[in-house]
């Protein structure tokens, strides 16, 4: 059971009530919405190719199609940026298309170094998908792609949410723990999982020893209920038991209104683990282990 007395609560019910009442409504910091460094880096990466394609805004009708053919013939590497114009980030060399006329699956290759690359097929793709029509409305493809990249970046928000919460936890712990404690994010030298390829969010070491951490911290945030947080409860209970065998303190820092609809799973964890905190309870982490005190 969570050691509520050491955390400064009079009863387990008081601890539990405080945990659920102080869950954060959101972890959307200012950095959550757009990763501008990534977006601007991606646009800069395509800059030369996009400037070449911007020439198409000077042409109309079939002349634009012919000009695209000439551009790709002279600068075949430009083909690689075409998918991003329709907000597709390629993880392979091509895009599979169902052609309704032939009722066949066609693969359009955008890598000119691939033997399957066909210039006419790429130009046809641009015509049929409406890419050529974009140049009627924009003369600056760089600005257009900036908007596309911002849109694509929103798909990364789900993953970014977890990373942002980890950063929130790291920033707060760094301010309140002793300077004699070293925080190692994603420590490559120690793992309770049995495989060092699977790492913990934070490992805390005392200055006096680098042999093994005295504390392992896992941090995650859930806005909505789901199977993943439910599965993590079982995993963390097991990790908590394993940590005890090593003489290591295992602390789970989790937050988000998703737990309000998964109370039974969280309550199970609270009865089987020693240390579970949410973000607003983080100041109490110094009560867990004396050397944490400044």
pLDDT tens digits for range 139-180? 889 999 999 999 988 877 777 777 899 999 999 999 999 888
> Is beta strand 202-206 parallel, antiparallel or unpaired with respect to 215-221?
antiparallel
Q: Are the C-beta atoms of 255 and 244 separated by less than 8 Å?
A: no
pLDDT of residue 55: 94
State the Cα–Cα distance between residues 169 and 214, nearest whole angstrom.
Answer: 18
Q: Domains of the chain: which residue ranges?
A: 12-26+177-292, 36-155
State the Cα–Cα distance between residues 184 and 251, nearest whole angstrom.
Answer: 15
- State yes or no: pLDDT of 46 exceeds 70: yes
Q: Which two tokens stand for residue 107?
A: 């693969």
pLDDT of residue 91: 83
- State yes or no: pLDDT of 224 exceeds 90: no
CATH of 12-26+177-292, one of 1.20.144, 3.40.1350, 1.10.3470, 3.40.50: 3.40.1350
What percentage of the chain exceeds 70 in pLDDT?
A: 97
- State yes or no: pLDDT of 236 exceeds 90: yes
Give me the chain's average pLDDT, please.
92
Model pTM score: 0.76
- State yes or no: pLDDT of 294 exceeds 80: no
């Amino acid at each position: 059971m969570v050691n509520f007395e050491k955390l400064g609560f009079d009863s387990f019910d008081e601890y539990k009530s405080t945990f659920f009442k102080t869950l954060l409504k959101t972890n959307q910091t200012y950095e959550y919405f757009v990763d501008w460094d990534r977006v601007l880096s991606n646009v800069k990466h395509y800059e030369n190719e996009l400037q070449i394609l911007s020439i198409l805004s000077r042409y109309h009708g079939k002349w634009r199609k012919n000009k695209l053919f000439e551009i790709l013939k002279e600068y075949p590497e430009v083909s690689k940026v075409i998918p991003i114009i329709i907000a597709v980030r390629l993880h392979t060399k091509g895009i599979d298309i169902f052609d309704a006329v032939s009722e066949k699956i066609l693969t359009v290759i955008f890598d000119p170094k691939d033997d399957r690359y066909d210039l006419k097929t790429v130009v046809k793709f641009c015509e049929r998908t409406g890419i050529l029509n974009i140049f009627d409305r924009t003369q600056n493809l760089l600005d257009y792609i900036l908007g596309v990249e911002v849109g694509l970046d929103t798909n990364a928000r789900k993953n970014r949410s977890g990373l942002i919460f980890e950063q929130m936890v790291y920033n707060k712990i760094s301010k309140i723990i002793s300077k004699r404690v070293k925080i190692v994010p994603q420590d490559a030298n120690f793992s309770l999982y049995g495989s060092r390829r699977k790492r913990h969010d934070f490992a805390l070491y005392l200055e006096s020893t680098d042999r093994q951490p005295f504390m392992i911290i896992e941090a995650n945030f859930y806005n909505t209920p789901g199977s993943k947080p439910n599965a993590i409860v079982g995993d963390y209970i097991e990790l908590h038991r394993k940590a005890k065998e090593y003489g290591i303190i295992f602390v789970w820092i989790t937050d988000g209104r998703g737990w309000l609809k998964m109370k039974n799973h969280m309550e199970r964890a609270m009865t089987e683990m020693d240390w579970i905190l949410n973000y607003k309870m983080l100041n109490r982490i110094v009560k867990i282990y004396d050397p944490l005190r400044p």
